[in-house]
């Protein structure tokens, strides 16, 4: 079973990359997705695109869910017998912890794809805001996508690539827009050698919310604006699937950049996950409930 781990900071483009990747293959593929929240979102995003997905929500596969990861992989093998297993850890999981868990499951030939948001990587890395987390992401990757180069511009992209190549000169680096990689993914290394370890993950508050059906689209858009502005705390990531009064929509926010796109199928359980620090969960919940009655 070929195994690929797709790692990257919150909002870097992991889910988008996997969607593109699997459109180019006819292999029997299962995606094991680890959302860091009680109400998973990415699993339904994959399912809407016709991708077989298994969710492992509410925790981090590199530490608290390590045993669950091992047992879930065994269940996937028995139930689906995939040719290719793609693992999307949460954006707060370090690849070293995931690789160690896979080693415990007897999976040692693994390809690691790292997704880097070129608009924010260099600033966060140079400020050492997250300790060794970024180093762990880079040095354990075989392939690195420097994503969102259209938003970052040539100079910031060049400096980002230089920093990455300094940390991991052996990695294959691609420049991407919307996490789209032309052609086939390079093969996994014959042997990983040493796994470079760092902090398992860093600590964020993670809140999950049920969204009332029929919530006004304008309420969701305004909520994302307010979350980005810091009205409810220091939000680094938010994502939602919502059955709004304008139909099903997907909402995303990462480090101040927000987007909304129509969703491909009906949404039975509308929900939102918000990740950050010092979050005012009650105020967010009140805003969602107020939208239902407005």
Q: Is the pLDDT of residue 146 over 60?
A: yes
The domain containing residue 269 runs over which residues?
205-293
Higher per-residue confidence, 8 vs 176:
176
> How far is residue 95's CA from residue 74's CA, in Å, rounded to a whole number?
20
> How far is residue 173's CA from residue 148's CA, in Å, rounded to a whole number?
14
* 191 falls within a domain: no
pLDDT digits (tens, 9 = 90+) for 209-247: 999 989 999 999 999 999 999 999 999 889 999 999 999
> Of 112-121, 190-199, 238-247, which gets the smallest average pLDDT?
190-199
* 97 falls within a domain: yes
* 117 falls within a domain: yes
Structure tokens at 176: 């991407």
At 240 the pLDDT is 93
Q: Which of 214, 208, 225 is nearest to 285 (CA)?
A: 208
The number of beta carbons lying within 10 Å of the beta carbon of residue 198 is 19
At 109 the pLDDT is 78
Q: Do 65 and 59 meet the contact criterion of CB atoms below 8 Å apart?
A: yes
* 268 falls within a domain: yes
Q: Which of 104, 20, 18 is nearest to 61 (CA)?
A: 104
Q: Is the pLDDT of residue 154 over 70?
A: yes
Statement to judge: residues 13 and 136 lie in one domain: yes
- The C-alpha angle 6, 10, 13, rounded to 5 degrees, equals 55
* Residue-averaged pLDDT of the chain: 84
> How far is residue 57's CA from residue 54's CA, in Å, rounded to a whole number?
10
Q: Which residue has the tokens 């969710």?
A: 55
* 189 falls within a domain: no
Question: Is the pTM of the predicted complex or chain greater than 0.85?
Answer: no
At 48 the pLDDT is 73
Q: Is the pLDDT of residue 200 over 50?
A: no
> How far is residue 172's CA from residue 146's CA, in Å, rounded to a whole number?
11
Mean pLDDT of 96-114: 86
Statement to judge: residues 231 and 171 lie in one domain: no
Identify the domain boundary among 130, 155, 175.
Answer: 175
pLDDT digits (tens, 9 = 90+) for 241-294: 999 999 999 999 987 888 899 998 899 889 998 988 899 999 999 988 876 544
Statement to judge: residues 275 and 220 lie in one domain: yes
Higher per-residue confidence, 59 vs 224:
224
Based on the structure, what is the number of domains in the chain?
Answer: 2
Name the pairing type of β-strands 271-277 and 205-210: antiparallel
> How far is residue 9's CA from residue 148's CA, in Å, rounded to a whole number?
13
The number of beta carbons lying within 10 Å of the beta carbon of residue 228 is 17
> How far is residue 64's CA from residue 184's CA, in Å, rounded to a whole number?
33
CATH number at residue 74: 3.40.50.300
Q: Which of 3, 1, 52 is nearest to 185 (CA)?
A: 3
Q: Do 248 and 262 meet the contact criterion of CB atoms below 8 Å apart?
A: yes
Q: Is the pLDDT of residue 106 over 90?
A: no
């Amino acid at each position: 079973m070929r195994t690929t781990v797709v790692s990257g900071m919150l909002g870097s483009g992991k889910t988008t990359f996997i969607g593109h990747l699997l459109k180019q293959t006819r292999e029997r593929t299962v995606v094991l997705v680890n959302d860091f929240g009680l109400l998973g979102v990415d699993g339904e995003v994959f399912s809407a695109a016709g991708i077989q997905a298994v969710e492992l929500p509410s925790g981090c596969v590199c530490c608290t869910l390590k045993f669950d990861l091992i047992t879930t992989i065994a269940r996937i093998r028995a139930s689906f017998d995939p040719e290719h297993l793609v693992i999307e850890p949460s954006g707060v999981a370090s690849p070293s912890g995931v690789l160690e868990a896979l080693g415990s499951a007897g999976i040692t030939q693994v390809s690691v794809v790292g997704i880097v948001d070129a608009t924010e990587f260099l600033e966060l890395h140079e400020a050492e805001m997250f300790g060794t987390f970024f180093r762990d992401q880079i040095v354990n990757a075989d392939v690195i996508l420097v994503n969102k180069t259209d938003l970052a511009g040539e100079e910031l992209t060049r400096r980002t690539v230089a920093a990455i190549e300094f940390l991991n000169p052996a990695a294959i680096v691609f420049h991407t827009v919307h996490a789209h990689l032309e052609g086939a993914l390079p093969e996994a290394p014959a042997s990983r050698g040493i796994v470079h370890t760092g902090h398992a993950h860093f600590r964020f508050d993670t809140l999950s919310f049920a969204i009332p059906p029929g919530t006004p689209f304008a309420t969701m858009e305004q909520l994302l604006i307010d979350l980005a502005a810091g009205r409810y705390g220091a939000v680094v990531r938010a994502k939602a699937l919502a059955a709004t009064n304008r139909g099903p929509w997907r909402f995303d926010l990462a480090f101040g950049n927000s987007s909304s796109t129509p969703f491909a199928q009906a949404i039975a359980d509308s929900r939102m996950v918000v990740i950050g620090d010092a979050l005012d969960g009650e105020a967010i919940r009140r805003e969602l409930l107020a939208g239902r009655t407005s």
